[in-house]
Amino acid sequence: MSEENIKIHYDFLFKNGEKKNFIIELDPETLALKSIPNKHYPEWTKLTCSQCPNCPLDVQKYPYCPVAANLSHITEEISLHISYEEVQVIVHTKARDYQREISLQNALRSIFGIIMPTSDCPIMEKLRPMVYNHLPFATGQETAYRVLSMYALAQFFITKKGGKPDLEFKLLEKIYEDVEIVNRAFHLRLVSAGLTDASLNAIGNLNCYAHFTQMALEPEKLGKIESLFSSYFKNPQS
């Protein structure tokens, strides 16, 4: 029997009593987003609309940007709201629920952080393993730690498959440089669509987190957490 799809529910309750519900459904093995087909995607979702300069997708196979297409219904749902509006958010997962009152832009950042890497974007999919243990409302420091842990585990699997691991994390910086290019281009895409600042600022916040993660790779930053692993240095071979 195949596993059930992974479902993450985001419930938004606005101060005026309005409610918005978003259900994200993922394949249990690949974490690929189970997209809901839309017969009338808006013009700004076309692949060629402010296409990312590093996008490797073929427009013949992907007439629409997979990330834009998957985010379009959410951006439309919140189009009348502003970024700093406070909203009560409840996130339901199989393991536990999360609840917080937060600005709309940060609530959207949390959702965008799931949808962007689980869509068919070859650039963003490098971050897909992070969704395995999704952490809503994560801080920049938490995100950076999780990224570094994810990348370290990736190197372990590369080694198991006979590949050469990047133990100095040099290629992680390149991954995040590409992610930042995507975030900036996607911001321009949303601007061209005339969407509200809530969606724009959500992407902007994601880019700030990407920059924060790059900063975490600096030797002085890594040195601050190195002492946490001191117990591993006493008997490295045991």
**Mean pLDDT of all residues in 192-219:** 76
In this structure, what token pair is assigned to residue 31? 């974490």
Per-residue pLDDT of 59-114, as tens digits, reads: 999 999 999 999 988 888 887 788 888 999 999 999 999 999 999 988 988 999 99
Contact 30, 2 (CB under 8 A): no
Q: How far apart, in Å, are the Cα atoms of 72 and each of 87, 167, 213?
A: 20, 38, 27
Per-residue pLDDT of 117-149, as tens digits, reads: 999 999 999 999 999 999 999 888 888 899 999
pTM of the model as a whole: 0.88
* Segment (H or E) for 172: helix 170-192
**Closest residue by Cα to residue 154 from 142, 169, 176, 143:** 169
Per-residue pLDDT of 12-27, as tens digits, reads: 999 999 999 999 999 9
In the chain, DSSP assigns E strands to 6-14, 19-26, 86-92, 97-103
- Domain-wise residue ranges, the chain: 6-227
